[in-house]
Amino acid sequence: MAKTEQVLLLEPPTELRFKGPFTDVISADLKLTNPSDKRVCFKVKTTAPKRYCVRPNSGILEPKASITVAVMLQPFEYDATEKSNKHKFMVQTLFAPEGPINQEQLWKEVSPENLMDSKLKCVFEMPESEVPESKIPRPVETAVKPSGSDSDVKKLMEDFKKLQTEISQLKTENNQLKEDGVRLRKVAVSETVHSTPISTTPTKSTQATGLVLPPMVYLIAALILGLLIGKLVL
């Protein structure tokens, strides 16, 4: 047997939207309109009765009349990572019989073939500025090197190699200076030994002016002073 088409007009027709934040009760309106010439009984059901409060959740609509049903969503912690909301609503209707009506008894005794229904899904909307950052799903980011990093590293390596070369050259020059100093000291000692006469008696000038140091001592002192100055410069 074919199902009876819904007689009421629903606005919105297919879904109820609830706009967050959901820290307080959020209400969505569902308007029911009876375009027929008969009275219509209606009842609003949900798959999550503990999460919603519906006022009124049942009643009788007179011909050509309308009613607004308030669907109130209770506060809860919103999770943006949920792909979809599984809550559903159903509006069941039937044509009212003549005379006085006991709605509770009527809904218990109604035959399924006399029932009409419409289903609506629930949609939760959270303003972007209100969504906690930790709840926003983010795509996996691929690490990207900043532009110019390769050239900067290459330049640093070149500067480092130049410094190593300069240090090596300075070490070579320092060793050469040390060798020259040793060679000059040997030459000076040799020349001093051959050119300075040995005298056991002091001369008159020595007696008059005091102790006179040999030239070798001055040469050695000059060499030592030169080495010290070279180290300070390096």
Task: Please give the C-alpha separations between residue 53 and each of 8, 49, 61, 68, 184, in angstroms, as whole numbers.
Answer: 21, 7, 20, 14, 108
pLDDT in tens, the chain (234 residues): 567 899 999 999 999 999 988 999 999 999 999 999 999 999 999 999 999 999 999 999 999 999 999 999 999 988 877 655 789 999 999 999 988 889 899 999 999 989 999 999 999 988 775 555 545 455 545 444 445 556 777 777 787 777 778 777 777 777 777 777 777 777 666 666 555 555 555 544 444 444 455 566 566 766 777 666 665 655
Contact 127, 78 (CB under 8 A): no
- What dotted CATH number matches 9-135? 2.60.40.10
Say if residues 65 and 36 touch (Cβ distance below 8 Å): no
What pLDDT does 205 receive? Answer: 45
**Domain coordinates in residue numbering, the chain:** 9-135, 164-192+212-234
pTM, to two decimals? 0.54
User: Phi and psi for 153 in degrees, rounded to 5?
Assistant: -65, -40
pLDDT at residue 24, as a whole number: 93
